[in-house]
């Protein structure tokens, strides 16, 4: 796998964590500080509000100290740091385990019908995507679509005489782009693209048949 592809996968995996969200609300009320208030048009005041001048003045809110409700702390900085550290460790562990996982899958699927390979890759892609912080459904759909697209393009590019190294890079980029589009926006799309990149790099490119080709 090329350095650029590895960097892209790591970046997408890092961007696949769900964003931290929070909300809070406060109410601001009008208040008039203590002091003398004089209503010069008592009759007009009563016509407009139905209250006498004395009643209106008595009903004024004088609590200026508590008129503006402050918003308390929404996030716990320490908990956020712990969650981010956990997410980073989980992503790093998953990326380190991916080569073994996809190699085993490739061995088990050797000789299986193409639809079966696409379905299994989609299922595993959903699980990996979910672990990275994306969605299972979007990851499964994205990786399945990427796998099918890569297989189709690989067959056609081979007949065009494109050299294997260049072909692998092009296929991986296309696969990640397809997975990103199908996976959707935000964390789910990023996780789907990263998973598709790992699936291609550690399965198709590094499977025994591909290794034999690379040694030549």
CB 18 within 8 A of CB 60: no
Helix, strand counts (H, E) of the chain: 9, 0
pLDDT band at 169 (very low <50, low <70, confident <90, very high): confident
Q: Which of 162-166, 201-205, 212-216 has the lowest mean pLDDT?
A: 212-216
Provide the whole-model pTM. 0.51
Burial 9-32 (b: 16+ CB within 10 A, else e): bbebbbbbbeeeeeeeeeeeeeee
Higher pLDDT among residues 118 and 57, named by residue: 118
Cα torsion angle, 89, 94, 97, 99, sign: negative
> Which band of pLDDT confidence, cut at 50, 70 and 90, is reported for residue 125?
confident
pLDDT band at 154 (very low <50, low <70, confident <90, very high): confident
Residue 149: count other Cβ atoms within 10 Å of its Cβ. Answer: 18
Which tens digits make up the pLDDT trace of 64-117?
666 566 565 666 677 777 777 777 777 677 767 777 777 787 778 778 888 888
- What percent of the chain clears pLDDT 70, i.e. is strictly above it? 61
């Amino acid at each position: 796998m090329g350095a650029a592809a590895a960097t892209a996968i790591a970046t997408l995996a890092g961007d696949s964590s769900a964003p931290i969200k929070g909300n809070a609300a406060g109410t601001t009320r009008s208040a008039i500080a203590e002091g003398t208030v004089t209503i010069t048009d008592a009759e007009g005041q009563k016509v407009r509000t139905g209250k006498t001048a004395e009643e209106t003045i008595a009903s004024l809110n004088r609590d200026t100290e508590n008129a503006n409700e402050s918003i308390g702390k929404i996030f716990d900085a320490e908990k956020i740091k712990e969650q981010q550290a956990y997410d980073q460790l989980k992503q790093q562990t998953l990326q380190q385990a991916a080569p073994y996982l996809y190699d085993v899958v490739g061995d088990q699927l050797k000789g299986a019908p193409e639809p079966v390979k696409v379905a299994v890759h989609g299922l595993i892609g959903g699980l990996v995507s979910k672990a990275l912080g994306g969605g299972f459904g979007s990851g499964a759909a994205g990786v399945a679509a990427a796998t099918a697209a890569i297989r189709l393009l690989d067959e056609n590019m081979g007949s065009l005489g494109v050299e294997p190294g260049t072909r692998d890079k092009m296929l991986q980029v296309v696969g990640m782009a397809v997975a990103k589009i199908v996976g959707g926006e935000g964390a789910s799309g990023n996780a789907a693209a990263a998973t598709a990149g790992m699936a291609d790099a550690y399965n198709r490119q590094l499977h025994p048949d591909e290794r034999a080709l690379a040694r030549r």
